[in-house]
Structure 1
Amino acid sequence: MAEILRTERLVIREWADDDAAAALAVYGRAEVARWLSPAVDRVMGEEAMRAQLRHWAEATREGQGGLGHWAVALRETGAVVGGASLHLLPVEEQDVEIGWQLAPEHWGKGYAVEAGRHLVERAFGLDIDEVFALVRPNNARGEATARRLGMTWVGETDKYYGLRLNVFRIRPSDAPIRLHRPPG
C-alpha cells in the first residue's frame, strides 16, 4: 500500500483488499451514506465494499496523475477511520472535487480537516487552480468542514449530479493552508 500523504495524526494511503471491513464500517453506515455523493452509493456487504475498493484503486492508478480515492488511517495504529478523495467532477471532467468520509465514532476529532488541508495543498501542488466541495443541503458537518478548510460558499447547483448541492471552493490565493515542510 503506497502512502500518499502523512499528517501529524493520519496516513492517507492507497486502499487495499484487506481494508474492506473497515471501509464498510464507514461507507455502509446510514449516517454516512445519507450525505454521500450520488457517485458513491451506500455499500451493502463486505464483498461489495471490496469490489468498490478495487474500482477506486484501479481508477486512481489509471486516472489523472495525483488524483484518486484513498484510505485515511490513524498514524499511530494504522486503523482505517475513513476515506478521502480528489477526483474530477462528472461534467466535462475539468473541476476537481475534494471528498471526505469518516466513521461516525471518529467525527468531531478534526481528522477530516487535517486530511483535507493536506489534500488541498496536494491539489495546488498539481497546478489545480481551484478545488470544490459539494455538500448536500442540511449537512452541517460537511459545511463546517469545508469552511474550516478555508473554502467559501459560492452558491447552489444541480450541475453535477442532478441534485441541489451547496458548492464550496478554494483557490491557492484563498488558502490559509501553509503547512510546514522541511527544506528541499
Structure 2
Amino acid sequence: MSELRTDRLVLRGWRESDLAPWAAMHADPEAREHFPGTLTREQSEASVARFQADLDQRGWGWWAVEVKATGVFIGFTGLDPVDEDLPFTGVEVGWRLARPHWGHGYATEAARAALDHGFGTLGRTEILAITTATNLRSQAVMRRIGMTRDPADDFDDMTVPEGPLRRSVVYRLRSDDRRSAVSG
C-alpha cells in the first residue's frame, strides 16, 4: 500500500486509533451537512474496514490523513472508482475532514497529493470530483486544485432522498490540463 506525504500531512492506512475520531466526525450533523444523515459508530467502522481492504487490495483508495507534526488524525482523502450507479465512469478524488481541521488548507494539500499519485503513479488521464450542488466549500477546494466544472455534467443522484442534496456537480481535471497549469 502506498503512503503519501506532504509538507504537513501523511496519507496512510487506517489504524484502530482512527475509529473513535472517525465515528465522532460522522455523528456530527455539521460535518455531515452535505450527506443524507449522520452515521452510527457501526456504519463508520464498516466504512473504515472497506477503505482499508481497498488500500490492501489496490494499493490506493481512501487514506486516513494525519497531521505530520502531531500525529493527530483529521479525516480522509484519496482516490476511488466512481460508483457504478452514476452516469459516468472514472476515478474520483475526495476528502472529508473533522470540523476543527477546516480552514487550514489541509483538504487542498491532501487532494493535491492524491492527484499527484493518480496522475503520476497510476497514470490516470482524468480525475473527477463529485459533491452536492450546495457544498460550496468542497467546490472551492476543487477549483483550488485546478479542476473545472461543466454544468452539462451535473446530475441528480437518485440514491439520495429528494431535496437539496440530490443535485450533484462534477468537476474534472485532465492530466494534460494539469501539466499546463503546473508549468504555466
Map residues 96-175 of structure 1 onto 2, 5 A cutoff: 96-125=91-120, 126-155=122-151, 156-158=154-156, 161=159, 163-175=166-178
Distance 1:16 1:167, change over 3 A: same
Structure 1 counterpart SS, 2:69: coil
Structure 2 counterpart SS, 1:174: helix
Question: Could you say which residue in structure 2 is the equivalent of 1:30?
Answer: 29
The alpha carbon displacement at 1:85 in A equals 2.2
Structure 1 counterpart SS, 2:116: helix
User: What are the ranges of 5 or more consecutive residues in structure 2 without an aligned counterpart?
Assistant: 161-165
Question: Could you say which residue in structure 2 is the equivalent of 1:13?
Answer: 12
Q: How many residues align?
A: 171
- Aligned partner of 2:30: which letter? E
Mapped contact 2:54–2:61 kept (Cα < 8 A): yes
Structure 1 counterpart SS, 2:104: coil
The alpha carbon displacement at 1:27 in A equals 2.4
TM-score, normalised to structure 1's length?
A: 0.83
CA distance, structure 2, for counterparts of residue 169 and residue 10 of structure 1: 24
Structure 2 counterpart SS, 1:97: strand
Distance 1:137 1:28, change over 3 A: same
Higher helix content, 1 or 2: 2
User: What are the ranges of 5 or more consecutive residues in structure 1 without an aligned counterpart?
Assistant: 179-184
The alpha carbon displacement at 1:17 in A equals 1.9
CA distance, structure 2, for counterparts of residue 83 and residue 158 of structure 1: 25
TM-score, normalised to structure 2's length?
A: 0.83
**1:121-169 deviation digits (Å, cap 9, x = unpaired):** 1100111111111110121101100000100012212368563211100
| Superposed CA RMSD | 2.3
Q: Answer yes or no: is 1:74 the counterpart of 2:63.
A: no
Structure 1 counterpart SS, 2:31: helix
Distance 1:11 1:142, change over 3 A: same
Structure 2 counterpart SS, 1:33: coil
The alpha carbon displacement at 1:16 in A equals 1.5
The alpha carbon displacement at 1:90 in A equals 1.7
CA distance, structure 2, for counterparts of residue 132 and residue 177 of structure 1: 18
CA distance, structure 2, for counterparts of residue 141 and residue 14 of structure 1: 26
The alpha carbon displacement at 1:54 in A equals 1.5
Distance 1:91 1:52, change over 3 A: closer
Q: Answer yes or no: is 1:90 the counterpart of 2:77.
A: no
